[in-house]
Amino acid sequence: MPAEPNVHQRRPSTQGLAFKRLFFALSVSDSQRRAIAQWRRSLSLRSGKPVPAQNFHVTLMFLGDVAVDQVPAICAAVDQLKRPSAPPRLLLDSLQVWQRASVLVLEPQQPPAVLLQLAYGLQQALLPLGVQMATREYRPHLTLARDFRGQPPEAVTAPEFFLGARHFTLYESRKGQYWPLAQWPLTD
């Protein structure tokens, strides 16, 4: 059972409602964070702003600004989500630049079906709540740098990071830091 969300007022809207900037993600272990950060340093980036290693994650679904009073309903909907029979194992083995978003990312050449199903399941679980979904196709990735311009840098060693997750988390993004609000196991 997920932890009860810790609800803080973020910023009032014109109607007096408070909002949180939320997303679902797979966390990255400390040892994986260190390995990815060390590999990123070997790229000698000349563009972009590196994402702090403590913020490394693989987004499942970005919710954006959500009214604080909707967070318990979101958690309740996810409580009912059918979990995968086995946790996803993700290989981040491709360094790419997403030009429109101006980000340097690690992504899988072959996204695991179980991860795609989980992201789709989250979208379907939250549809009845009227949560606005991204209209673009889900592409699992880990952001290495923001405000990145140009082509992917040459890597001395090819990326090959295996991420195994046992849970997924609802995070709040607050002033450049990510705060876990609730967590769910990845298997039933």
Burial class (CB in 10 A: 0-12, 13-18, 19+), 2: middle
Q: Which of these is catalytic: 141, 178, 181, 182?
A: 141
Residue type, 42: S
Active site residue 141: yes
| Burial class of residue 86 in the structure, from the number of CB atoms within 10 Å of its CB (0-12 exposed, 13-18 middle, 19+ buried) | exposed
Q: Give alpha helix (H) positions in 128-171.
A: none
**Active-site residue, selected from the candidate residues 39, 43, 57, 125:** 57
Sequential DSSP letters for 57-119? EEEEEEEEEEEGGGHHHHHHHHHTPPPPSS--EEEE-EEEEETTTTEEEEE-SS--HHHHHHH
148-184 in b/e form (b: 16+ CB < 10 A) is beeeebeeeeebebebebeebbbbbbeeeebeebbeb
Q: How far apart are CA 117 and CA 112, in angstroms?
A: 9
Active-site annotation holds for 167: no
How far apart are the C-alpha atoms of 29 and 11, rounded to whole Å?
31
Active-site residues: which are they? 57, 141
